[in-house]
Copies of this chain bind each other. A is one copy, B any other.
Amino acid sequence: MEIKSYMTRIGQQAREAASLMAKADTATKNRALLFIAQAIRREVALLRAANLKDLDIAKDNGLEAALLDRLTLSDKAIETMATGLEQIASLDDPIGAISNLKLLPSGIQVGQMRVPLGVIGIIYEARPNVTVDAAGLCIKSGNATILRGGSEAIHCNQVLAGLVREGLAKAGLPEQAVQVVETTDRTAVGELITMTEYVDVIVPRGGKGLIERLMRESKIPMIKHLDGICHIYIDDSADLDKAVEIGFNAKCQRYGTCNTMETLLVSENVAADVLPLLATRYRDEEVELRCDEKAFQILGAYPYLAKASEEDWQTEYLAPILAVRVVSGLDEAIAHINRYSSKHTDAIITEDYSHSLRFLREVDSSSVMINASTRFADGFEYGLGAEIGISNDKLHARGPVGLEGLTSLKYVVFGHGEIRK
């Protein structure tokens, strides 16, 4: 009950702050971002100390090495947070832009104005840098935000929250525009995702378990994706050098990201040529190849070879493992992708003009690529400047979501006294 009233108060304050943020001008929002960056640079020692406290507790609790690594705030990571805010300040303000303004037969002029979403709840895990990135994106897009970070980073997040408040106040913006939930009680998440009156959108940035829970329990629209089962299809007309470079990069540049390739499809006309070339590269990284019958025959001598089962086409490995299938051509590749893809990112390697256009049009994923690594599916790489997450949903934001994805459009009508006849 205490948590409920605590969260309700946070929600009410956020709603009030949101209406002030919606009309804040660009210069004021940018000033707040730069003040926060300054405060972060000034308080490196304080931040490191809070982070050490978090790390000590995490070690006592036996947190695994990978998570400790993500929790650690080095001097460099702190500087990156400050630079990130300066970058957001340098981006164009999406709010207030009017597009599609038309003069209509009745005499009215109708266009669409970009406006903030309102209050955005963000739920994330042990990475303190998300606190600052998310705060920065929400401030610039004129939204208020409620941040619920992982309990492991609570001390560090409290300090960051104080610095954000300081920057907002100094710029003359409401301190409650960015609120960090101060309790580690898990029921606070349950409140956040059901406060339909106070929260307009939820952005869950965390494991599949968190997102599945939210999909069941939340009544608030989400900007989210569940899986990243990304495909590359090497077409019969592919430039094999590009195919090998991209096929290696998409799998091996980083294993744990959602835009990493998990299944490789190869046209039967080029499979015997390109698979052995790729295998030479994968061998150095000890990538296990789980192959269908035809690929298995071609790659017979490969040291980390296995047979694929139906389950492999549906698995996001996030590891040095790749499912490989030989297909008869473009049609079978598109059919496989539209069946098994998580609709995150899929790419074709081809020099055939018609094939490239058919792939673009017919693959139903949030990013579809020609001759490029799936690893490019990212807000920074797409020129959005910053990223709040990646959405697989077809409604609203789809693909990497930056400033614009945190906004909506309303119609605006300029009349001259027109009435409807």
A contacts, CB < 8 Å to B: 19, 22-23, 96, 102, 104, 106, 108, 110, 112-113, 115, 117-118, 200-201, 221, 239, 241-242, 245-246, 248-250, 253, 338, 347, 360-362, 364-373, 375-377, 381-383, 393-396, 398-400, 408-420
**When A398-B410, A411-B398 are in contact, do A110 and B382 touch as well, CB less than 8 Å?**
yes
Interface centre among A19, A115, A376, A420 (most CB of B within 10 A): A420
Cα distance A152–B138 in the bound complex, in angstroms? 49
**When A376-B413, A395-B221 are in contact, do A104 and B381 touch as well, CB less than 8 Å?**
yes
Cα distance A395–B143 in the bound complex, in angstroms? 14
The binding surface of chain A is classed by DSSP as mixed
Cα distance A391–B67 in the bound complex, in angstroms? 42
Cα distance A368–B415 in the bound complex, in angstroms? 11
Task: Give the Cβ gap from A351 to chain B, nearest Cβ, in Å.
Answer: 10
Asked if A416 and B371 make an inter-chain contact with CB atoms under 8 angstroms apart, the answer reads yes
**When A366-B410, A373-B420, A396-B395 are in contact, do A383 and B415 touch as well, CB less than 8 Å?**
no
Asked if A376 and B106 make an inter-chain contact with CB atoms under 8 angstroms apart, the answer reads yes
Cα distance A239–B415 in the bound complex, in angstroms? 12
Asked if B364 and A413 make an inter-chain contact with CB atoms under 8 angstroms apart, the answer reads no
Number of this chain's copies in the assembly equals 2
Asked if A410 and B365 make an inter-chain contact with CB atoms under 8 angstroms apart, the answer reads yes
Select one of B117, B248, B372, B412 contacting A417, CB under 8 A: B372
Asked if A249 and B419 make an inter-chain contact with CB atoms under 8 angstroms apart, the answer reads yes
**When A376-B420, A411-B368 are in contact, do A110 and B362 touch as well, CB less than 8 Å?**
no
Cα distance A362–B410 in the bound complex, in angstroms? 11
Task: Give the Cβ gap from A145 to chain B, nearest Cβ, in Å.
Answer: 15
Select one of B104, B201, B221, B372 contacting A413, CB under 8 A: B372
Asked if B106 and A394 make an inter-chain contact with CB atoms under 8 angstroms apart, the answer reads no
Question: Which residues does chain B contribute within 8 Å of A253, judged by CB atoms?
Answer: 419-420
Cα distance A360–B417 in the bound complex, in angstroms? 16
Select one of B110, B246, B365 contacting A383, CB under 8 A: B110
User: Which 6 residue pairs of A and B lie closest in terms of their CB atoms, listed nearest first?
Assistant: A372-B415, A242-B417, A249-B419, A375-B420, A369-B413, A396-B396
Question: Which residues does chain B contribute within 8 Å of A409, judged by CB atoms?
Answer: 398-399
Whose C-beta in chain B lies nearest to the C-beta of A19?
B338
Cα distance A416–B356 in the bound complex, in angstroms? 12
Question: Which residues does chain B contribute within 8 Å of A22, judged by CB atoms?
Answer: 362, 364
Interface centre among A108, A200, A362 (most CB of B within 10 A): A108
Question: Which residues does chain B contribute within 8 Å of A395, judged by CB atoms?
Answer: 117, 200-201, 221, 395-396, 408
**When A415-B370, A419-B245 are in contact, do A394 and B104 touch as well, CB less than 8 Å?**
no
Asked if B415 and A394 make an inter-chain contact with CB atoms under 8 angstroms apart, the answer reads no
Cα distance A47–B362 in the bound complex, in angstroms? 38
Asked if B411 and A377 make an inter-chain contact with CB atoms under 8 angstroms apart, the answer reads yes
Cα distance A413–B394 in the bound complex, in angstroms? 18
Cα distance A108–B378 in the bound complex, in angstroms? 12
Asked if B383 and A104 make an inter-chain contact with CB atoms under 8 angstroms apart, the answer reads yes
Task: Give the Cβ gap from A333 to chain B, nearest Cβ, in Å.
Answer: 15
Question: Which residues does chain B contribute within 8 Å of A361, judged by CB atoms?
Answer: 23, 96, 113
